């Protein structure tokens, strides 16, 4: 496996710290490399067998690779705890976002049930909310924590909301709206083009907020906001089907493009670098799916002279404690072997 940079070609990652299967969860569920590709803006890169939603303090939260009705709290030693019931979507229906609060508690966005859940650090329920302030949740999507304990929530129908858990009760969660579902005064175009659809969100170390605006299928943008809703700079237009956004300690913004199966690191306009997770065209490079089926470059659709084949990335998160990037690879069991200083898959 390689993580290849678009500007500099293939980048070799350091040898594995360990090589164990992540599923079943008897061994490590994420594997770290001590050196990340130059320009990515993180110090380590690790992989997890699921849809990664959040990371902090050496832990990460992932949605199960087999069901959207359960989430797992994962450490380097494997699954610590789980929450949800795969046979009863009333507890969790589809978790689209998660965040670790500064106090160690965990917030989950249950998009399918239109709920926001507050859990303990061991995934025990504290409270469930169906509204933030006076606004009912319609299609909640992502959540991120500020350093002072406040939260930023996106809802694709109602916009971006700033939440104040310190003043919450078991039934009410005070909130204000940073940006609503429609922008005003931005231009004179027809109303449809001013639609603001807030999806993925991330918070930087300086509490700056990055929001992916899907823009009703029109030009997609990354917006950078202060906690008062004002923009920190002009929106950045991106040509990508964004499925995840993260920020690093040195100001990089990372986003996953679901259409190209790549991760892009951007710090300033015009200074992007794009990376891929891929199987290279070397003898023995292969993976095993969670169902045990062996897949090689050929049956992934590659050809004999193909240099690489990319894997779909199921979300990502940056752990601020170690500035490490956790990438979700939900459709393959994580079993690796080093190959000439580069990660490759092995059966």
Distance CA 315, CA 62 (A): 9
pTM over 0.85: no
Predicted local distance difference test score (pLDDT) of residue 6: 41
Confidence of residue 243 (pLDDT cuts 50, 70, 90): very high
CA triple 42-43-46, angle to 5 deg: 85
More confident residue, 185 or 193: 193
Q: What is the pLDDT of residue 12?
A: 27
301-324 confidence digits (pLDDT tens): 444 334 446 678 889 999 998 889
Work out the pLDDT band at 106, boundaries 50, 70, 90: very high
CATH code (residue 33): 2.120.10.30
Rounded mean pLDDT of the chain? 75
Q: How many CB atoms lie within 10 A of CB 24?
A: 11
pLDDT given at position 253: 92
- Choice between 123 and 275, residue whose per-residue pLDDT is larger: 123
Asked whether residue 297 carries a pLDDT value surpassing 50, the answer given is: no
Per residue in 16-30, pLDDT tens? 222 222 233 333 344
pLDDT at 26: 32
What total of structural domains would you count in the chain? 1
Averaged over 221-226, what is the pLDDT? 89
pLDDT in tens, 50-104: 899 999 999 999 998 777 789 999 998 889 999 999 888 999 999 999 999 999 9
The yes-or-no verdict on residue 335 having pLDDT over 50 is: no
Residue whose C-alpha is closest to residue 196's, from 175, 219, 176? 219
**Torsion angle of C-alpha atoms 146, 101, 179, 223, degrees rounded to 10:** 60
Q: Which domain holds residue 166?
A: 2-345
Per-residue confidence (pLDDT) for residue 311, from 0 to 100: 72
């Amino acid at each position: 496996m390689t993580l290849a940079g678009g500007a500099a070609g293939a980048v070799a990652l350091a040898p594995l710290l360990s090589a164990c299967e992540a599923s079943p969860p008897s061994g490590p569920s994420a594997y770290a490399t001590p050196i990340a590709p130059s320009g990515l803006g993180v110090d380590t890169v690790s992989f997890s067998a699921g849809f990664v939603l959040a990371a902090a303090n050496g832990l990460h939260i992932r949605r199960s690779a087999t069901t959207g009705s359960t989430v797992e709290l994962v450490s380097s030693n494997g699954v610590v705890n789980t929450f949800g019931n795969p046979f009863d979507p009333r507890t969790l229906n589809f978790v689209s976002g998660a965040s670790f609060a500064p106090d160690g508690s965990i917030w989950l966005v249950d998009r399918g049930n239109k709920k926001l859940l507050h859990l303990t650090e061991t995934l025990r329920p504290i409270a469930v909310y169906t509204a933030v302030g006076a606004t009912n949740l319609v299609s909640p999507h992502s959540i991120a924590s500020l350093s002072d304990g406040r939260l930023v929530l996106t809802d694709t129908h109602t916009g971006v909301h700033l939440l104040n858990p310190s003043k919450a009760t078991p039934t009410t969660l005070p909130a204000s709206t940073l940006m609503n579902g429609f922008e005003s005064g931005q231009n004179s175009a027809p109303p449809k083009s001013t639609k603001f659809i807030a999806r993925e969100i991330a918070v930087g170390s300086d509490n700056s907020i990055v929001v992916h605006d899907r823009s009703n299928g029109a030009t997609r943008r990354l917006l950078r906001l202060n906690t008062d809703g004002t923009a920190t700079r002009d929106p950045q237009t991106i040509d990508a089907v964004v499925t995840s956004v993260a920020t690093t300690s040195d100001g990089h913004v990372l986003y996953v493009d679901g259409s190209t199966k790549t991760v892009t690191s951007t710090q300033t306009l015009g200074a992007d670098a794009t990376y891929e997770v891929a199987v290279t065209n070397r003898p023995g490079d292969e993976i095993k799916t969670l169902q045990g089926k062996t897949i090689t470059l050929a049956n992934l659709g590659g050809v004999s002279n193909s240099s690489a084949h990319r894997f779909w990335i199921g979300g990502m998160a940056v752990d601020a404690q170690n500035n490490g990037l956790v990438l979700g690879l939900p459709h393959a069991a994580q079993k690796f072997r080093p190959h000439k200083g580069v990660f490759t898959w092995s059966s």
